[in-house]
Chains A and B, each alone.
Chain A
Amino acid sequence: MRYVVIGYILTYGTLLAYVAWLGWRLRTARERLGGDA
């Protein structure tokens, strides 16, 4: 069970980290263009 918990945390954690990084890049790109695209 220990490996399952670690596997799920790493899988969903990596996906959440990517979502956060993508969101940050989107926000930055919109700010750089000076408006909501």
Chain B
Amino acid sequence: MTTRGRLAWLDVAAVMAVVGALVFALMSPRVESQGDSARMLFIHVPTIWLAYLAFAITFVASLTYLVTRKLKWDLVAGSSAEIGVVFTTVAIIGGMIWGKATWNVYWTWDARLTLTAVMLFVYIGYLALRRAIPDPVARARRSAVLGILGLVQLIPVHFSVTWWRTLHQTNTFRPRDIQMDGPILAALLASVAAFTIVYAALLRHRYQLAELELDAHRAATAAEGPVAGDAVSAPTIGST
């Protein structure tokens, strides 16, 4: 059985988990203070959690690349960052719609919202940097630095609601101080689990694409023939 065949169950699990989370979200009881708009919780919190996770994986993979110099870690870092950008975009869009429903404005220059937007632009810059450097080794080294520095901003993004007085509510999920009814908490946890499985499935496919792109680059370079500097061998996937 191929790797694709062995891991196809992850795609099936992702679809099933999303359907299950949707059912949980729609069946959850109505929150009196916010009405039905509180159901945005079940997509807004999981998507920003996944953005944090994706960028944390980029950080770990970037650090691992700099230590091991194995290109596969650079591919993981780049793949995870792209998915993180998608989830951050989705979290901002969902948050804007929830903001319109509860604050009557789509956007305000609140600390949490502004810092999240800055985080999005930093990682869009990270992806742009990757596209700007054709050489895989140079790209890996330079983007690893940004991948590591980029995580620093996650701290003010997450704690902005406690450090400053913001329109955005304080962090929804506090493990030591859970103030949610059981069914709502269950629906939220189901959504977080579902989106995490979706992230894993997306990362697997995006990594496969990164490998194919690297293979295509090597094939194109080989077709062009030897050039100055070819005596220096580049690291390959799985080797030092």
What residues of A have a CB within 8 angstroms of the CB of B86 in the complex? Answer: 14-15, 18
The number of chain A residues with a CB under 8 A from chain B is: 22
Asked if A37 contacts B97 (CB within 8 A), the reply is no
What residues of B have a CB within 8 angstroms of the CB of A6 in the complex? Answer: 97
Asked if B212 contacts A10 (CB within 8 A), the reply is no
Bound state CA distance, A15 and B86, in angstroms? 8
DSSP majority for the B interface?
helix
Question: Total number of A-B contacts with CB less than 8 angstroms?
Answer: 69
What residues of A have a CB within 8 angstroms of the CB of B37 in the complex? Answer: 3-4
Chain B residue with the shortest CB-CB distance to A25: B209
Asked if A11 contacts B216 (CB within 8 A), the reply is no
Asked if A37 contacts B215 (CB within 8 A), the reply is yes
DSSP majority for the A interface?
helix
Does B98 have its Cβ within 8 Å of any Cβ on chain A? yes
Task: Name B residues whose Cβ lies closer than 8 Å to a Cβ of A.
Answer: 18, 35-37, 39-40, 43-44, 47, 86, 89-90, 93-94, 97-98, 100-101, 198, 202, 205-206, 208-209, 211-213, 215-216, 219
